């Protein structure tokens, strides 16, 4: 199968860093998320509740106030070495949104997050990988 133009062909689960046995929490994910990340590595568990066992949280947002609430709550709830991916609609997708890559940084950086990677999640969604700043871990 050939990757769509502009896409690396790397499986999304690998791009997101979802490893075997990972505990992944989804927030506001699109209904086709399972298809987007398939095939998942063995033993991956997905859910909706963040615990100290959570390795990765994937937040989808189209509105800045929702993003602010999610990131504020996650900053208090996640382990210091957990990863947060924030996805927002690409401009070309024509999905109404007030979020851009810069908006995510504007919200995330003051909370102690730092962005370390960006990737295409789908034809509709982009993703920005956030981690807690090293000196705050």
Q: Is residue 85 part of a domain?
A: yes
Q: Give the Cα separation of 98 and 33 in Å (integer).
A: 22
Residue 108 near residue 78 (C-beta atoms within 8 A):
no
- pLDDT tens-digit readout, 24-60: 999 999 999 999 999 999 999 998 899 999 999 999 9
Beta partners for residue 86, in sequence order: 59, 128
Question: Under a CB-based contact definition with an 8 Å cutoff, are residues 62 and 96 in contact?
Answer: yes
The domain of 40 spans 12-136
Q: Residue 45: beta bridge partners?
A: 23
Asked, for residue 6, whether it belongs to a domain, the answer is no
Residue 8 is predicted with a pLDDT of 66
- The answer to whether the predicted template modeling score (pTM) of the entire model surpasses 0.85 is yes
In a domain, residue 5? The reply is no
């Amino acid at each position: 199968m050939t990757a769509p133009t502009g896409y690396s062909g790397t499986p999304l689960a690998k791009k997101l860093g979802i490893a075997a046995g990972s505990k992944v929490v989804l927030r506001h994910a699109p209904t086709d998320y399972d298809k987007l990340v398939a095939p998942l590595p063995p033993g991956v568990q997905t859910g909706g509740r963040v615990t100290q066992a959570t390795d990765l949280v994937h937040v989808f947002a189209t509105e800045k106030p929702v993003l602010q609430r999610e990131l504020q709550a996650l900053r208090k709830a996640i382990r210091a070495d957990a990863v947060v991916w924030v996805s927002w609609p690409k401009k070309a997708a024509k999905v109404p949104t007030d979020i851009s890559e810069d908006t995510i940084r504007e919200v995330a950086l003051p909370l102690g997050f730092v962005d370390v990677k960006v990737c295409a999640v789908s034809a509709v969604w982009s993703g920005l990988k956030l981690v807690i700043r090293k000196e705050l871990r």
